[in-house]
Amino acid sequence: MSATVRYIRKRAFSPVVTGSLLYILTRGPESLRRPLVNILSSPANVERAKSVLKWLFALGLLGRLNSWLNSWAENGWQLYGDKKRWNWNKEIAVITGGSNGIGAGVVKGLAAKGIKCVVLDVEDLPKNMQNYANINFYKCDITSPSAVSEVASEIRSKIGNPTILVNNAGIGTSHTILLTEPEYLERLFSINVFAHYNTLQAFLPSMISANKGHVVTVASLSSFVPPVGLVHYASTKAAVMSLHEGLTSELRHLYNAPNVKTSIVHPTYARTRLLEGFEKEVKENKGVVIDPKLISDAIVRQILSGRGARVVVPQGMSLAKAIRGMPSWMQERLRDSLAPHTQSAKDMLLKR
């Protein structure tokens, strides 16, 4: 979607814009009203414009109300955030998979705000991230509970208790269900799902004790619709979506820690190394591929807001959140439309 189209779409559903135009056309001073009437050129067009603006104004208000209610619910029914409790120069963020891709972007973004960042990864930091005074690196296999526990103890003793946890690390390549090797499947779930439990069990208790923290789960749009050839990957992202929702409930109802915020991010395909294994299939199916910086920037913004949220990147695909509430026939039609239709795309998957 072009920048122009996005701009027009955003303004068309802005109650401020549509309400102002409607007021000018109906009750505004002649000096403002006359230029608009001249542009519309006829009384019939003026009436049509009024009708369209009324609908856009109403839809815009409903959209704003829905967003406000979502934010209210996602933050433990708290009207206001606790942003004042955050002192970014004193906060500590743990980011898994922070040596490249989306994770590296998150690390750089948080570090630029003065946050102490701790990267857990099996891959060393790239040279351009090794000279930051507030970026620390620990080589750690996050699929090992004992390795995570050991590193967590070292982090607490040398740096302090983390207040932000970004579970970002993930892997994925395209396979059909029948061609997915058991060993690969086990590794996939270990990194994409079980590692979340390891880091939560290591870092969440101190957040609960302080009733302050933010856990960010990096999921995918495939949490809502499993693409053909990526069912295994989508299954892990659906799993961490359930984990995110359950974590939010447990923090609120079992641990009485409503100020430990939880956010989940559902990006579309990003131009990272993870995509390299199945980029041909994505392009063949005309999938949307975006710059990973858009995703990392969205994560950083959400953390700095001091609020929890369910974030879709790009924002223009936010309707994906409603898919699971659609009637079955609509869901099936959507899945059919996203399936590979060309023989070459099918062959790519069947030969993997």
CATH number of the domain at 191, please.
3.40.50.720
d(CA 107, CA 120): 11
Other CB atoms within 10 A of residue 203 CB = 24
pLDDT in tens, 56-69: 998 888 888 888 88
The answer on pLDDT for 108 being more than 60 is yes
DSSP SS3 for 287: coil
Q: What is the mean pLDDT of the chain?
A: 90
Catalogue the active-site residues: 233, 237
Q: Looking at 74, 107, 127, which one is the last position of a domain?
A: 74
- Assess whether 11 and 151 both reside in one domain: no
Contact of 306 with 83, CB cutoff 8 Å? yes
For residues 264-275, give the mean pLDDT.
Answer: 90
Identify the pLDDT of residue 8: 53
User: Tokens in use for 292?
Assistant: 């990973």
- Assess whether 145 and 192 both reside in one domain: yes
d(CA 303, CA 266): 15
In this predicted model, which residue has the larger pLDDT, 63 or 264? 264
In this predicted model, which residue has the larger pLDDT, 82 or 109? 109
Identify the pLDDT of residue 350: 77
For residues 109-133, give the mean pLDDT.
Answer: 95
- Assess whether 46 and 182 both reside in one domain: no
Is the sign of the CA dihedral 320, 298, 78, 206 positive or negative?
positive
For residues 211-234, give the mean pLDDT.
Answer: 95
- Assess whether 116 and 202 both reside in one domain: yes
d(CA 350, CA 352): 6
pLDDT in tens, 279-333: 766 766 667 889 999 999 999 999 999 999 999 999 889 888 899 899 999 999 9
Number of domains in the chain: 2
Q: Provide the residue range defining the domain that includes 17.
A: 3-74
DSSP-derived pairing of the beta strands 164-167 and 116-121: unpaired
CA dihedral 60, 65, 70, 71 (to 10 degrees): 100
Identify the pLDDT of residue 308: 95
- Assess whether 65 and 87 both reside in one domain: no
Identify the pLDDT of residue 5: 45
- Assess whether 57 and 203 both reside in one domain: no
- Assess whether 287 and 181 both reside in one domain: yes
d(CA 203, CA 148): 10
Other CB atoms within 10 A of residue 291 CB = 12
Looking at residue 123, what DSSP letter applies?
S
Identify the pLDDT of residue 2: 47
For residues 98-126, give the mean pLDDT.
Answer: 97
Identify the pLDDT of residue 14: 87
The answer on pLDDT for 200 being more than 90 is yes
Identify the pLDDT of residue 282: 72
What is the percentage of the chain residues whose pLDDT exceeds 70? 93
The answer on pLDDT for 341 being more than 80 is no
Cα–chain-centroid distance for residue 340? 25
- Assess whether 19 and 136 both reside in one domain: no
- Assess whether 7 and 134 both reside in one domain: no
pLDDT in tens, 154-190: 999 999 999 999 999 999 988 899 999 999 999 999 9
Q: Looking at 19, 53, 74, which one is the last position of a domain?
A: 74
Q: Looking at 74, 95, 121, which one is the last position of a domain?
A: 74
- Assess whether 27 and 154 both reside in one domain: no
Residue showing tokens 């135009």: 21
In this predicted model, which residue has the larger pLDDT, 36 or 104? 104
Rg (CA), the chain: 23
- Assess whether 141 and 61 both reside in one domain: no
pLDDT in tens, 76-99: 877 776 778 899 999 999 999 999
Please state which of the ranges 65-79, 119-133, 193-207, 250-264 shows the lowest mean pLDDT: 65-79
CA distances from 156 to 103, 217, 287 (A): 21, 22, 42
Long-range Cβ pairs for the range 246-252 (8 Å, 24+):
247/200, 247/215, 248/74, 248/308, 251/208, 252/76
- Assess whether 290 and 248 both reside in one domain: yes
Identify the pLDDT of residue 67: 82
Strands lying side by side in the sheet with 164-167: 135-139, 116-121, 92-96, 164-167, 213-218, 260-267, 310-313
Contact of 284 with 342, CB cutoff 8 Å? yes
For residues 226-231, give the mean pLDDT.
Answer: 90
